[in-house]
Homo-oligomer: A and B are copies of this chain.
Amino acid sequence: MKSFIHTDPQSHFPIQNLPYGVFRPIHGGSPRIGAAIGEYVLDLSVIDKAGKLSGTGAEGKGVFQQPSLNMFMSLGRGTWKRVRSQIQDLLKEEEPELRDNQTLREASLLHRRDVEMLLPAQIGDYTDFYASKEHASNVGTMFRGKENALMPNWTHIPIGYHGRSSSVVLSGTDVYRPQGQKKPPEQEVPVFGPSKRLDIELEMGWFIGPGNERGKPISIADAEDHIFGLVLVNDWSARDIQAWEYQPLGPFLSKSFATSISPWVVPFEALEPFRTDGPAQDPEPLPYLQQDGAGSFDIELEVYLKGKEMEKPQNIVSTNFKYLYWSMAQQISHHTVAGCNLRPGDLHASGTISGPEKQQRGSLLELTWAGKDPIQMSNGEERVWLEDEDEITMTGWCQGDGYRIGFGEVTGRILPSIDYSS
């Protein structure tokens, strides 16, 4: 399948992808919804007004004139498929409807450099899971010792916790180094100050729609119908604050200062050709977590770090989504089994994605083994934790035959802590 809009084979946004995002034209106008195609954005509010989405179930309701994808997310798989199919048809090389309509093309296609991206959804609740066995084992070994690395519940439960939705920010937003309480092992009492163990977490997130009523769990068979689409997530973490605060109620301030996500939400449908088995699960999960068929996806993931003194970003992680032990469907089904309701626009993230090899570890904590094994940078520096002015870029894609389903990137730069005492 090809579009009349040229995309090269390395592009993240060919016609096979068509991710959704919320944007504002930089020359003025209100926030609205678009789909990325190559270097362009198709303004779906214009396409809808031109009557090109009729029969989808989303037409004529102002769904694409919204400042968030929440309303579209609420409409469900049938509508999402019809909208996607009609947009794909409109953009096809051989279809004259948009291609030869110069007025509509000019009104609906904006170059991506002429738009400002915004958060794709109003996130009601953000839940962060802990679904990588390698990550949980690595972190557990470092925090609690090898014999207590993986808690007894871990192979039975897709462990997750409630995250903070207010501090989910868009790619490109600067992150101030957090301050807080830490208790270095050599000290008797805690001290206050900037985090000295600032870290990244390479994760993927998925937006929920339509969700469920309180008290009515989503079965494992239905769970994937509630995945609207996926983004890249960098769950910034302050390890020194985390180590001191997390017992017994879990991470709190060590995570809630910022979580960065990529702007383009890749439709779940676009990932179907890349479906694959996740790791074998032993012991067998309880029946409510038993999923038929392959529940994972082959998504290449990379992290780059660029220090202030470095000329170009350096690759520090290369891993894959398929290493996750628990599938998205299992995580969703578990989340709702006791009656918790999910709402359109809720964000779930996978937890750090680590693989079996060292280069596949998705956090500095694991890559440097809490500082014992610094990363050698191309300019001769070493890295253990993030330094001020470091810029992190995460990216990911599914490699098709001559095309990529890409996620774009999520970036963020660390700024020094601000001294508010003065």
Contact = CB atoms under 8 A, between A and B. Distances in A.
A153 B244 contact: yes
A185 to B, nearest CB: 12
A337 B157 contact: no
B334 A189 contact: no
**Secondary structure type dominating chain A contacts:** loop
B248 A166 contact: no
Contacts of A252: 159-162
Contacts of A140: 248
B241 A189 contact: no
A338 B259 CA distance: 13
A81 B181 CA distance: 35
A250 B253 contact: no
A215 interface: yes
A327 to B, nearest CB: 17
A130 B248 CA distance: 10
B287 A159 contact: no
Residue with the highest number of chain B CB atoms closer than 10 Å, among A125, A130, A167, A217: A125
B247 A153 contact: yes
Given A156-B189, A288-B192, A179 B253 contact: no
A253 B283 contact: no
A165 B253 contact: no
Interface string A119-130: 000001100001
Contact of A286 (B160, B190, B286, B288): B190
A214 to B, nearest CB: 6
A286 B190 CA distance: 8
Interface string A80-124: 000000000000000000000000000000000000000000001
B130 A249 contact: yes
Interface residues of A, number: 68
Contact of A253 (B125, B251, B335): B335
Interface in A249-299: 249-254, 256-258, 283, 286-288
Interface string A215-251: 1110100000000000000000010010011111111
A152 B179 CA distance: 20
Interface stretch (A47-55, A310-318, A340-348, A378-386): A340-348
Contacts of A246: 248-250
A155 to B, nearest CB: 10
Contacts of A125: 164-166
Contacts of A256: 162, 338, 340
Nearest to A251: B249
A184 interface: no
A109 to B, nearest CB: 34
Given A338-B238, A338-B256, A183 B215 contact: no
Interface string A132-175: 00000000100110000001110011011111111101000000
A176 interface: yes
B254 A159 contact: no
A161 B287 CA distance: 30
Contacts of A254: 338
A251 B251 CA distance: 11
A180 interface: yes
Contacts of A248: 140, 143-144, 151, 159, 246, 250
Interface string A313-337: 0000000000000000000001101
